[in-house]
Structure 1
């Protein structure tokens, strides 16, 4: 009966190794001069944050980690904020990932690319496609 009890009782999983996600490559440095690389930089940072939520549980940790990879123009922009980091009340920018991300896009994205993309979306071709798509969806009861 003892062997049967051992066979039926649940296993002791405390000795099983915990699943650990493999380490991810650090984001490439962002210099602030190649606007087309900004989106990739932000996405790389966000993937790292999602992969390791135990280490990146606060906006401050996310922002400070990301600033390590800002060099060139972008590094010069963040420098004054970092020089005040030991103040009792450091800049709100260092404690707010969304604000940090917005500031990066405001300062370093290619605004001509944004305008061009907006124009393409507003062009007749895309608008007609969306209208036709919605019309077809409504015919079959979706949307």
Structure 2
């Protein structure tokens, strides 16, 4: 990656004070072009990573939710500028839902009147809580305690 001084040197070559002055807009356009070009060049730096898109998640197997979320997180880390906002993360994650997992969110997605009232649409943490509560693995101990509380003795008559 080029240093700031190298970038400035390239811009200085584009805007040569020895040449007759040109239209300031053309000079500005050339300077912007040089900056864009220098920031996009990676030179001999490490090659870009290639992260696989996440597998789709349909909610039928709660044990697959963790793997799905890890795959989404890898994409977020590989493209930090794309996923700066929570809404971008929520939208990306929802785009890989299908089946009953997508069906759970579909009514809210298709009703724009709800957009201002749904915290999970703009808050990735809230979205994860909603997804996990409905499609994640349940706590076996809590489930067993709940079942024991609901047991009743049958009358032997």
Shared fold (TM-score, shorter chain, > 0.5): yes
Give matches, 1:9-88, under 5 Å: 12=6, 14=38, 16-17=42-43, 21-85=48-112
Shift, 1:104, TM fit: 1.0
Secondary structure, counterpart of 2:125 in structure 1: helix
For 2:47 and 2:109, the matched residues in 1 are separated by: 32
* Gap regions ≥5 residues in structure 1: 1-10, 117-143
TM-score by length of 2: 0.58
* Gap regions ≥5 residues in structure 2: 8-37, 142-157
Change (3 A) 1:54 1:86: farther
Contact 2:87 2:124 (8 Å CA) reproduced: yes
| Deviations 1:5-40, CA, capped at 9 Å, x for gaps | xxxxxx947465365632311100000111110000
For 1:16 and 1:55, the matched residues in 2 are separated by: 19
What is the CA RMSD across the aligned residues, in angstroms?
2.8
Deviates more, 1:85-94 or 1:32-41: 85-94
Change (3 A) 1:70 1:88: closer
TM-score by length of 1: 0.63
1:105 maps to 132
- Correspondent of 1:115 among 121, 129, 140: 140
